[in-house]
A = this chain, B = another copy of it.
Amino acid sequence: MDKGILYGVGVGPGDPGLLTLKAVETIRQCPVVAAPRTPRGGTAALDIAREAVDIGGKEIVFLDFAMRRDPAVRAAAHRVSVERLRPHLDAGRSVATLALGDVSLYASFRYLADRLRREGYAIRMVPGVPSFCAAAARLGTSLTDMTTPLQIIPDGAAVEPDLTRPGTVVWLKSGAGLGQILTRLDAAGRLADVAVVQRCGMAGERVFRGRQCLEADSAYFSLVILKGKAERDDA
């Protein structure tokens, strides 16, 4: 019997309309859907997919990822997830593993895929709309000019960007990190070029611009966007 295929499917950051046609079709064709679950029971990716695809009748496998930095703790969570997925693949059932946003960016799918690929299972990825693209659309703004670089700095990154270089910077921030980066941007006199988007495309979405950003509640996961200087577009 052929083994099932492990699909990683980006479902976009919140609005169910941002699933791609291919994401919908992939979820539809898989008898099993695997969905990340936070320690508090949050299943955002599954909630989004449910709005776009009928998943009634499918088996749901929850993946309890550790939200901790300790590699040993995280690896243990990945091992448990792999144990939950393997029986389905061995029985010939393909699995659509959901990821918020795009599946190649800051998604735990990567660790499951690496482990199961080493065991000989087939892996396929369906890309999705990243949170920062959806946030820019929500703000009605372009992230970049034609020739300016873009940097994405995730929560917990060991390095910070040089703010004197040209281009746009996006920070993905949770908790106290939000206040720290806004304080730094204020000190650098750049707050006028900053926007913060929280819960993009979900209930409770919040958007802040300029000095307003200082009022953003750090209890929510936040996207902080620092726009570089605009290029000339001669009238």
Contact = CB atoms under 8 A, between A and B. Distances in A.
A19 interface: yes
Contact of A129 (B16, B102, B145): B102
Interface string A81-122: 000000000000000000000111111111101110100000
Task: Using C-beta atoms within 8 Å of the partner chain, give the interface range for chain A.
Answer: 35 or more
A21 B158 CA distance: 37
Kindly report how many copies of this chain are found in the complex they form together: 2
A25 interface: yes
A149 interface: yes
A152 B167 CA distance: 10
Interface centre among A102, A123, A156, A166 (most CB of B within 10 A): A102
A125 B147 contact: no
A21 B125 CA distance: 18
30 contacts: A10-B129, A18-B20, A18-B127, A19-B21, A20-B129, A21-B21, A21-B24, A21-B52, A71-B234, A72-B234, A75-B233, A75-B234, A102-B129, A102-B133, A104-B137, A105-B143, A110-B142, A110-B145, A124-B140, A125-B136, A127-B133, A128-B129, A147-B157, A149-B154, A149-B157, A149-B159, A149-B161, A150-B152, A157-B167, A159-B167
